[in-house]
Amino acid sequence: MAVNRMIKEKEIVQEGDIVRLTAHRISLGQDQTVIREKILKNYQESALTPPYFREICAEPETDAKQAQSVLMVLLGEGLLVKVKEDLYFHAPALEKLQMLLTDYLKKNGEISTPQFKELTGLSRKYLIPLIEYFDSQNITIRIGDIRRLRSTGK
Protein backbone atom coordinates (compact mmCIF):
# COMPACT_ATOMS: atom_id res chain seq x y z
CA MET A 1 0.00 0.00 0.00
CA ALA A 2 1.25 3.50 -0.82
CA VAL A 3 0.74 4.84 2.72
CA ASN A 4 2.91 2.09 4.23
CA ARG A 5 5.63 2.79 1.66
CA MET A 6 5.53 6.52 2.44
CA ILE A 7 5.76 5.81 6.19
CA LYS A 8 8.69 3.44 5.59
CA GLU A 9 10.44 6.08 3.47
CA LYS A 10 9.69 8.69 6.17
CA GLU A 11 7.73 10.93 3.81
CA ILE A 12 4.75 10.82 6.17
CA VAL A 13 4.23 10.05 9.86
CA GLN A 14 1.30 8.19 11.37
CA GLU A 15 0.28 9.17 14.91
CA GLY A 16 -2.73 7.11 15.90
CA ASP A 17 -5.47 7.86 13.38
CA ILE A 18 -3.67 10.93 12.04
CA VAL A 19 -1.32 10.90 9.08
CA ARG A 20 0.80 13.98 8.35
CA LEU A 21 3.79 15.01 6.29
CA THR A 22 7.04 14.48 8.17
CA ALA A 23 7.88 18.18 7.84
CA HIS A 24 4.46 19.38 9.07
CA ARG A 25 4.59 21.42 12.25
CA ILE A 26 1.81 23.28 14.04
CA SER A 27 2.48 26.97 14.27
CA LEU A 28 0.42 29.28 16.41
CA GLY A 29 -0.58 32.83 15.64
CA GLN A 30 0.54 35.66 17.92
CA ASP A 31 -2.73 35.63 19.93
CA GLN A 32 -2.50 31.87 20.36
CA THR A 33 1.15 32.08 21.42
CA VAL A 34 0.18 34.49 24.21
CA ILE A 35 -2.65 32.17 25.29
CA ARG A 36 -0.27 29.17 25.12
CA GLU A 37 2.21 30.84 27.46
CA LYS A 38 -0.56 31.88 29.85
CA ILE A 39 -2.04 28.37 30.00
CA LEU A 40 1.34 26.68 30.32
CA LYS A 41 2.46 29.07 33.08
CA ASN A 42 -0.79 28.46 34.95
CA TYR A 43 -0.27 24.68 34.90
CA GLN A 44 3.45 24.88 35.69
CA GLU A 45 2.88 27.09 38.73
CA SER A 46 -0.08 25.12 40.05
CA ALA A 47 1.71 21.75 39.66
CA LEU A 48 -0.54 19.16 41.37
CA THR A 49 -3.35 21.58 42.22
CA PRO A 50 -4.29 22.98 38.81
CA PRO A 51 -7.43 24.90 38.01
CA TYR A 52 -10.13 23.24 35.97
CA PHE A 53 -9.71 24.28 32.35
CA ARG A 54 -13.10 26.01 32.35
CA GLU A 55 -11.73 28.35 35.05
CA ILE A 56 -8.87 29.36 32.77
CA CYS A 57 -11.32 29.97 29.93
CA ALA A 58 -13.47 32.14 32.21
CA GLU A 59 -10.59 34.51 33.00
CA PRO A 60 -10.92 38.03 31.56
CA GLU A 61 -9.36 38.55 28.16
CA THR A 62 -9.32 34.82 27.42
CA ASP A 63 -10.94 33.68 24.20
CA ALA A 64 -12.37 30.27 25.17
CA LYS A 65 -12.39 28.94 21.59
CA GLN A 66 -8.73 29.85 21.04
CA ALA A 67 -7.82 28.52 24.48
CA GLN A 68 -9.43 25.18 23.58
CA SER A 69 -7.38 25.02 20.35
CA VAL A 70 -4.19 25.82 22.26
CA LEU A 71 -5.05 23.18 24.86
CA MET A 72 -5.19 20.58 22.09
CA VAL A 73 -1.73 21.67 20.90
CA LEU A 74 -0.30 21.44 24.44
CA LEU A 75 -1.79 17.96 24.85
CA GLY A 76 -0.35 16.95 21.48
CA GLU A 77 3.07 18.25 22.49
CA GLY A 78 2.87 16.20 25.69
CA LEU A 79 3.23 19.28 27.92
CA LEU A 80 -0.16 18.76 29.53
CA VAL A 81 -1.89 15.51 30.44
CA LYS A 82 -5.64 14.98 30.70
CA VAL A 83 -6.46 13.18 33.95
CA LYS A 84 -10.24 13.50 33.73
CA GLU A 85 -12.79 15.69 32.00
CA ASP A 86 -11.70 19.35 32.30
CA LEU A 87 -8.79 18.45 34.63
CA TYR A 88 -5.29 18.65 33.17
CA PHE A 89 -1.85 18.52 34.77
CA HIS A 90 1.58 19.75 33.75
CA ALA A 91 3.36 16.60 32.50
CA PRO A 92 6.57 17.03 34.57
CA ALA A 93 4.56 17.42 37.81
CA LEU A 94 2.63 14.24 36.99
CA GLU A 95 5.86 12.39 36.19
CA LYS A 96 7.36 13.39 39.57
CA LEU A 97 4.22 12.21 41.35
CA GLN A 98 4.33 8.91 39.47
CA MET A 99 7.95 8.39 40.54
CA LEU A 100 7.05 9.20 44.16
CA LEU A 101 4.14 6.76 44.05
CA THR A 102 6.08 3.93 42.40
CA ASP A 103 8.98 4.36 44.86
CA TYR A 104 6.50 4.20 47.77
CA LEU A 105 4.87 1.08 46.33
CA LYS A 106 8.21 -0.64 45.72
CA LYS A 107 9.13 -0.07 49.38
CA ASN A 108 5.73 -0.70 50.98
CA GLY A 109 3.90 -2.98 48.55
CA GLU A 110 0.59 -1.16 48.71
CA ILE A 111 -1.03 2.19 49.40
CA SER A 112 -4.49 3.21 50.60
CA THR A 113 -6.19 6.44 49.62
CA PRO A 114 -5.51 7.99 53.07
CA GLN A 115 -1.83 7.02 52.74
CA PHE A 116 -1.70 8.56 49.26
CA LYS A 117 -3.24 11.72 50.73
CA GLU A 118 -0.59 11.75 53.46
CA LEU A 119 2.17 11.13 50.90
CA THR A 120 1.06 13.95 48.60
CA GLY A 121 -0.73 16.41 50.87
CA LEU A 122 -3.43 16.78 48.21
CA SER A 123 -7.14 17.27 48.77
CA ARG A 124 -9.64 14.68 47.55
CA LYS A 125 -10.49 17.04 44.66
CA TYR A 126 -7.14 16.04 43.09
CA LEU A 127 -6.33 12.86 44.98
CA ILE A 128 -9.11 10.66 43.63
CA PRO A 129 -8.73 11.66 39.95
CA LEU A 130 -4.95 11.17 40.20
CA ILE A 131 -5.07 7.73 41.77
CA GLU A 132 -7.72 6.68 39.24
CA TYR A 133 -5.51 8.08 36.46
CA PHE A 134 -2.60 5.90 37.62
CA ASP A 135 -4.97 2.90 37.57
CA SER A 136 -6.05 3.75 34.01
CA GLN A 137 -2.42 4.10 32.91
CA ASN A 138 -1.63 0.63 34.30
CA ILE A 139 0.80 2.04 36.86
CA THR A 140 -1.32 0.83 39.78
CA ILE A 141 -4.05 -1.72 40.22
CA ARG A 142 -6.90 -1.31 42.66
CA ILE A 143 -7.58 -4.25 44.94
CA GLY A 144 -10.43 -3.39 47.30
CA ASP A 145 -9.43 -0.22 49.15
CA ILE A 146 -5.73 -0.36 48.32
CA ARG A 147 -3.53 0.09 45.27
CA ARG A 148 -0.53 -1.99 44.30
CA LEU A 149 2.09 -1.49 41.64
CA ARG A 150 0.89 -3.23 38.51
CA SER A 151 3.38 -5.81 37.33
CA THR A 152 4.64 -5.00 33.86
CA GLY A 153 5.70 -8.53 33.01
CA LYS A 154 9.23 -7.33 32.22
What's the rounded Cα separation, in Å, for the pair 128 and 22? 39
Backbone angles phi, psi at 90, to 5 degrees: -70, 125
Percent of the chain with pLDDT over 90: 58
Note if the pTM is more than 0.75: yes
CA dist., res. 86 & res. 56, Å (int): 10
Q: 20 with 13: CB under 8 angstroms?
A: yes
Q: Strand, coil or helix: what is 146? A: strand
Q: CA 133 to CA 154: how far, in whole Å? A: 22
Strand partners, 26: none
- The predicted-structure confidence for 92-143, as pLDDT tens digits, reads as follows 999 999 999 999 999 999 999 999 999 999 999 999 999 999 999 999 999 9
Residue type, 43: Y
* Per-residue confidence (pLDDT) for residue 18, from 0 to 100: 57
At residue 151, does pLDDT exceed 60? yes
State pLDDT tens for residues 17-70: 555 555 545 555 566 788 889 999 999 999 999 999 999 888 887 788 888 988
The predicted structure's pLDDT at residue 154: 42
Torsion of CA 31, 32, 35, 41, to 10 degrees: -130
Q: What whole-number distance in Å separates Cα of residue 44 and Cα of residue 121?
A: 18
Which domains occur in the chain, in start order?
Answer: 30-88 (1.10.10.10), 92-149 (1.10.10.10)
Question: What gap in Å lies between CA 2 and CA 95, rounded to an integer?
Answer: 38
3-state secondary structure of 88: strand
The residue with greater pLDDT, 76 or 127, is 127
The yes-or-no verdict on residue 147 having pLDDT over 50 is yes
